[in-house]
Amino acid sequence: MNECLFCKIIKREIPADIIYENNEVLAFLDIQPVNFGHTLVIPKKHYEKIYNLPDEILKNIAPFIKKIAVAVKHGVNADGINIIMNNDGAAGQIVPHAHFHIIPRFANDGLRHWPGKPYANKEESSKMAEKIKNELV
């Protein structure tokens, strides 16, 4: 994919502050960090979203997400870490290349999680669970 921003970073056509690299994975600092140390972990082969990311690649990338998360937490002395993957525009995905955000969090960073909302009743949650279960078949 010639126009993919992250593919251009992989090919060194665009500079990035690279944290880690091997044959399958690249990790680099986000240029618009939520907090300093915010790092992106990407597969080197182009896949747009988790939906088309092969299980084998996901299995191989998971240990590196953990490794980078630990390094970010200790490297910036964070109180915690968020690991997030946005898929589709409605979920906030901007670059159409599968990537995981490792965001260092601090007790006083002023950031809050998105608001939750309870189900109206047990019947509503049971119906929702059934709809999702039916898609696993």
- The SS3 of residue 78 is coil
Is 113 designated active site? no
Q: How far is CA 89 from CA 25, 76, 95, 101, 103, in A?
A: 23, 30, 9, 15, 20
Closest alpha carbon to 83 in 96, 99, 98: 99
CB atoms closer than 10 angstroms to residue 10: 21
Catalytic residue among 46, 99, 101, 113: 99
| Active site amino acids | 99
